[in-house]
Structure 1
Amino acid sequence: MREHTMDNEPRLEVLDREQCLALLGTLRIGRLFFTEGALPAVQPVNFRVHREQVVIRVAGGAKLGAAAAHSVVAFEADDLDPDLRTGWNVTVVGPAERITDVDELVAVSGIWLRPWVDGRRDHFVRVIADRVTGRRLHPPAATGGGPRRF
């Protein structure tokens, strides 16, 4: 039985804005938290980071409605490994808004991959990144001088 010491515990690092946005750039799926019918809702979404904002492509519905109303929403993405007890998560909070400027629509449509779900996705929504927070969980330090065994 191994002795329980601080070296055996994962280390938590608080990430700055630049680190968070860089990590978001490595993923394509996250979760959008918004209000639908006066209740909290969360849906997985394809996304990109463009000009330090989270951009999603939507067909319409509640997500587009939240953007049209400039509602404050939250977006979260993570890359976690429960077996190794490592990974990171990033949360972006701010108002959502439709992208309507033609030049900006051309720019964001050029970075987009094919949606995972069939059907048209004719609208782009951005989450203005007023608040960006993140944490990274580092693996426990190896102890005992030999190779680390899992």
Structure 2
Amino acid sequence: MQDEATHRTVDDHREAVAPRRMTRLHRAEALRLLGSVSLGRIVFTQHALPAVRPVNHLMDGDDIIVQLHDGATLTSIVAPSDAIGVVVAYEADVIDPDTHIGWSVVVTGYAHRVTDPGELARFAARLRPWIDHPDMNAALRIQPDLVTGLQLTT
């Protein structure tokens, strides 16, 4: 006989959690929270369609730095000589799956490829990849234009 808990559905869980209040976060607080985690999702255009990839990041002031590797999909979204950059979105969150309390931050801005050896060395010393890759040879710097943060509370 299977345990009754294994038969819980999404609807059962939804009933167990009371609705949460949503509060907008100020830009500075949203960026601070973004800097408190190392994993997020970058949204970019691939073959004229939206694409999403999980990536690790660090904050350099208000900018988000994402590590790149040769052959990776993200490497092709910004050419090294592209002075304008490309528009991307970056999202990270911490939301407890049981209580539904936490936060979410979405940043939209221009991504520029970083190739300066000094900056790359500084970023490589701070970024810890979550998958096995060769040394970092490039990075994306996302300069936030639009920052939206939401806090979920009881």
Q: Which runs of 4+ in 1 moved over 4 A?
A: none
Partner amino acid, structure 2, of 1:65? S
SS where residue 43 of structure 1 aligns? Answer: strand
Give the equivalent residue in structure 1 for 2:152: 137
Partner of residue 47 from structure 1, selected from 57, 63, 71: 57
> Following superposition of structure 1 onto structure 2, how do residues 1-150 of structure 1 map, counting pairs within 5 Å?
9-60=19-70, 61-68=72-79, 69=82, 70-113=85-128, 115-120=129-134, 121-139=136-154
1:67/1:14 CA distance change after superposition, 3 Å: same
Consecutive unaligned residues of structure 1, counting only runs of 5 or more, are 1-7, 140-150
With 78-87 and 59-68 compared, the bigger mean Cα shift is at 59-68
Shift of 1:16: 0.8
Deviation string, structure 1 residues 101-145 (Cα, Å, up to 9, x no partner): 3443333223222x1222223211111111111000012xxxxxx
Aligned partners of 1:17, 1:105: CA distance in 2, in Å?
Answer: 27
Residue aligned with 2:126, SS: coil
Distance 1:129 1:80 in 2: 22
Identity of aligned residues (%): 37
- Tell whether the 8 Å contact from 2:115 to 2:137 is kept in structure 1 after alignment: no
1:35 maps to amino acid:
T
* AA of the residue aligned to 2:66: I
Secondary structure (helix, strand or coil) at the match of 2:130 reads coil
The alignment partner of 2:131 has SS state of coil
Gaps of 5+ in 2: 1-17
TM-score, length-normalised on structure 2?
0.77
What is the alpha-carbon root mean square deviation over aligned residues? 1.6
Give the distance between the partners of 2:32 and 2:141, measured in 1 at CA: 17
